[in-house]
Amino acid sequence: MTVVKPVIFGILALVPALAGDSDFNGRWDLTLTGDARGRAWWLEVSGAGTPNIKGKFVGAPGGQMDVIPEIRISNGELIWVFERNYGYGSKEEREKPRRGIYKARLTGGKLAGTFGFQGNPILQFTGVPAPEIRDKDDASWKHGKMIQLFNGRDLNGWRVAMDGAKLAWSVQTGLLTNSEGAADIVSEEKFWNFELHAEYRVGPKSNSGIGLRDRYEVQIWEDYGRPVDGHSMGALYSRIVPSQNASLPAGQWQTMDIRLVGRTVTVTLNGKKIIDRKEIEGLTAMAHDGNEAMPGPISLQGDHGLVEFRALNVTPLTR
């Protein structure tokens, strides 16, 4: 058996390198059980089976794509750790950094794992390799019939994303709006390749998002005049930074046009193209549906701030 010297938590250690360790490499879509919000996670592993294992992760807590600071394989088990504040446990536990431990094993080409704290797993998850999606944004796509997701009268065609959660969205004077802390909602209809047109407005410091196939969030945030980053208005959340800030001041109506073909996304904000045919690496934190190989709904984020929509239209793209 080969012996290698990986760096584990900053310490050199001698551990056996198992023949199957390299099978952890790749991108993984993770589905949770026991999570009240019904979220999907995402994991990328590279260098497994060598001393240079690395990883990236989208999951609880928080929502951005993070480089994993501590990752190793021990006796066929992939282990990664973040030390930070988590939204689990008592008030005291939630307010102090803790070592959240993620563990996963391979069974039949799939991951089976747990998340929790030392000696106390609280969530289970399964993982499948992220599928290859070959659709590209070229000239071969044709517009289908436009579908009006919001009819201006009621919530017909929408449901709460989380099982058992209260519907805290309503239609007032022709506008679709949420209440403070509302659970996300998703469209009943599912889509694959499409163009989406949204008209919306947000108040000061408000924050929302549009989930494409309920997997990839395009950020809505009141950030007029600020430098762009991965959390800016129109960003593919924590993954693709807009080329410019095209936001309008709080309280003004804004338009966002999004084109998604396969994993290729284009975003036009208030008439300015800010993302032009960029590839999406994988799920963002808003994801509830981790099955990337299948069509998915449009989702609206409701628990981060107040937002109003007056138009949400989807035009499918077909060949």
Same structural domain for residues 172 and 117?
Answer: no
Question: Do 232 and 279 share a domain, yes or no?
Answer: yes
Q: Tell me the one-letter amino acid at 177.
A: T
Q: Which of 99, 129, 159 is the last residue of a domain?
A: 129
Strands 120-129 and 110-117: antiparallel
136 domain-assigned: no
- Per-residue model confidence as pLDDT tens digits over 85-113: 887 777 777 778 889 999 999 999 999 99
Measured distance CA(41)–CA(28) in Å, rounded = 8
Q: What is the per-residue pLDDT for 16?
A: 45
* Residues 160 and 62 occupy one common structural domain: no
**Residue 162: what pLDDT?**
81
Alpha helices, DSSP H, located in the chain = 91-94
Q: What is the pLDDT of residue 11?
A: 35
Q: What is the pLDDT of residue 61?
A: 65
Backbone φ and ψ of 45, nearest 5°: -125, 135
**In a shared domain, residues 259 and 280:** yes
The number of beta carbons lying within 10 Å of the beta carbon of residue 159 is: 14
Q: Could you tell me the residue range of the domain that residue 167 belongs to?
A: 142-318
Q: What angle do CA 116, 218, 292 make, to 5 degrees?
A: 60
Spatial CB neighbours of 251, under 8 Å, sequence gap ≥ 6: 201, 203, 204
Which of 82, 102, 129 is a domain's end point? Answer: 129
In the predicted model, what is the mean pLDDT of the chain?
A: 90
Structure tokens of 187?
């469209």
Exposure string for 252-285, b = 16+ CB within 10 A, e = fewer:
eebebbbbbbbbbbbbbbbeebbbeebebbbbbb
Query: Is residue 178 one of the residues assigned to a domain?
Result: yes
Distance of alpha carbon 151 from its chain centroid, rounded?
A: 27
Task: Assess if residue 299 is contained within a domain.
Answer: yes
Give pLDDT, residue 62: 65
Residue 77 forms part of a structural domain: yes
pLDDT at 6: 38
Query: Is residue 22 helix, strand or coil?
Result: helix
Residue 26 backbone dihedrals phi, psi, to 5 degrees: 120, -175
pLDDT tens-digit readout, 282-296: 999 999 999 999 999
Decide if 151 is inside a domain. Answer: yes
Q: Do 104 and 40 sit in the same domain of this protein? A: yes
Domain co-membership, 99 together with 208:
no
Residue 24 DSSP symbol:
G
Q: Which residues pair with 98 in a beta bridge?
A: 84
What is the block-wise mean pLDDT of the chain (319 residues), using blocks of 10 residues?
37 47 97 80 97 93 86 97 83 83 95 90 94 95 98 95 86 94 93 98 93 97 96 97 97 98 98 98 93 97 90 97
Question: Based on C-alpha coordinates, what's the Rg of the chain?
Answer: 21
Residue after which a domain boundary falls, among 78, 108, 129 = 129
User: What per-residue confidence (pLDDT) applies to 38?
Assistant: 75
Q: How far apart are CA 139 and CA 303, in angstroms?
A: 38
Same structural domain for residues 313 and 188? yes
89: CATH: 2.40.128
Whether residue 137 is contained in a domain is answered as no
Same domain, yes or no: 90 and 239: no
Same domain, 287 and 181: yes
Q: Indicate whether 116 and 148 sit together in one domain.
A: no
| 230 domain-assigned | yes
d(CA 193, CA 316): 6
As for how many domains the chain has, the answer is 2
Pick from 103, 44, 63: which is nearest to 216 by CA?
Answer: 63
- Six-digit token string for 181: 């802390």
38 and 154 share a domain?
A: no
Q: Does residue 162 sit in the same domain as residue 213?
A: yes
Torsion of CA 176, 182, 183, 187, to 10 degrees: 0
73 is a domain residue? yes
- Decide: helix, strand or coil at residue 314: strand
Asked whether the bond before 61 is cis by omega within 30 degrees of 0, the reply is yes
